[in-house]
Amino acid sequence: MTNLPIRFGVWALVHGSRAAHQDPEEPYDASWERNKKLVLKAEALGYDSTLVAQHTINPHQEDLDQLEAWTSAAALAALTSRIEIITAIKPYLFHPVVLAKMALQIENISHGRFAINLVNAWNKPELEKAGIGFADHDDRYAYGREWISVVSRLMSGERLTHKGENFDIRDYALRPKDLYRNRPAIYVGGESGPARDLVAEHGDVWFINGQPLEDVSALIADVAARSRNGRVPLRFGLSAFVVARETDAESEQAHQRLLALAVKDAPMREIQKANTDPKVVMMQTMQKTPRVGSNGGTAAGLVGSYDAVAARIREFHAAGIELFMLQFQPFEAEMQRFAEEVIPRVRGTVQRRSFGLA
C-alpha cells in the first residue's frame, strides 16, 4: 500500500483516438493543435500529468499522422504552468548524451515538471526501416540499461567518464544542470523479467499496463521486493481506459458502442500484431481480455458508474498505484466528465499533493 496521494494523468493523442479510429464522435486527429488544446484543457481541469508517447511513424498505419514527442514536449513545457510532462524515449533513437541534454533543457523550460518514460521498443519497422536494426528483446533491455545509466548520471550533473559495451564517454558534463531538483524523474515501462530488473535498478516510477487488480498487485509485490541499492522506494503508475456514467447500465452501453467501433480497426490491429516483437509482454497481456484502448485499456476495469469507478481507483491505490494515466473517447468530453464526476468522489477520501521526485 502506498502513502502517496492519488494523481491523475492523460495520454496525449499522439496517433489519434485510443479506442477506435472510425468514431464519428471523435474524427482522427493527431495534430499538434489538437494535442496542445487537450493538454491545456487537462491542466485547467486539474489533471496532474500527461504522457507523450514516442513514435517516429504511426504504429498502426504508416500513412496516418503521428505527433513528434520531444519537440511537442518542449512546446508544452513552455505553454503550461503546473502539469507534469512525461515524454517517452526509445534508446536506439537518441544517443544518451544528446537525450540527456534535451531532457535537461525541457526540465528547465518547465521549471522542474519534466520526466522521461523509458520504453525499449516493440514496433519493428520503426527501427528496421531506419537502418538501425531491431535487436532481440533481452539485448534491447541490456542496451537500455546501459543507456539509462548514462542519461541518469548526466541529468544529475555528474561529470561522466564511462566505457561500456555500447558507449565510450569521456569527461562529459552538461550545463546548466537541473535548476529545480537533482534531475528529471525516470518512468519505466515494460513487464518482462529484464524490464522489472531495469526499473528496480534505475527507475523512479514503474508504469504498468491496464489489467485486473489481482494481476497488478502481484506485479507490484514482485518489483517492490527487488533491491534498490539504498534508493528511495519505487512508485507505481497504471494505464487505464475509463468509461464512466451515472449508472452501470449507461456505462456499459457506452462501452459496447466503443467495442463495436473497435471491430472496424481489425485490419490495423493485424498490422500492429505483425510488426510487434512477440516477446513483448505488453502485447501478450493485452490479448487476455476483450478491451478497448491501448496499453491494457479497459482491462483495468474502470468501466461502470461514477461511484464504482471511484471505488476501483481506491482499490488500486490501496494496492500501491499512485498515478493513473487515463484514456477516454471522445477524449475531451469524457476527460471533463471524469474530472467533474469521478475525481471529486475519489478526493473525498484521498488528499491531493503536488508531484515531485522523492
pLDDT at 286: 54
- The pTM score is 0.93
Q: Does any domain span residue 357?
A: no
Distance, CA of 251 to CA of 244 (rounded, Å): 5
pLDDT at 289: 66
pLDDT at 122: 83
Distance, CA of 34 to CA of 26 (rounded, Å): 11
Q: Which parts of the chain sit beneath pLDDT 50?
A: 350-358
- Residues 6 or more apart whose CB falls under 8 angstroms from that of 200 comprise 223, 226, 227, 228, 234
Distance, CA of 140 to CA of 177 (rounded, Å): 29
Residue 206 sits in a domain whose CATH number is 3.20.20.30
- Would you state the torsion angle of the CA atoms of residues 331, 333, 337, 340, taken in this order, to the nearest 10 degrees? 110
Strands 160-163 and 168-172, how do they pair? antiparallel
pLDDT at 183: 98
Distance of CA 79 to CAs 41, 74, 307, Å? 12, 9, 34
Q: Does any domain span residue 42?
A: yes
Asked if residues 46 and 68 have their Cβ atoms less than 8 Å apart, the reply is: no
pLDDT at 188: 97
Q: How many helices (H) and strands (E) in the chain?
A: 13, 12
Return the closest-CA partner of residue 96 out of 180, 159, 155, 136.
155
Q: Does any domain span residue 358?
A: no
Domain that residue 232 falls in: 7-347
Distance, CA of 190 to CA of 73 (rounded, Å): 22
Total domains present in the chain: 1
pLDDT at 284: 55
Most distant CA pair in the chain, distance: 62
pLDDT at 3: 85
Q: Does any domain span residue 356?
A: no
Backbone angles phi, psi at 103, to 5 degrees: -65, -45
- Write out the three cell numbers for 217: 498487485
Q: Does any domain span residue 95?
A: yes
DSSP designation for 349: T
Q: Does any domain span residue 166?
A: yes
Look-up of cell digits 491542466: 43
pLDDT at 285: 55
pLDDT at 24: 95
pLDDT at 278: 74
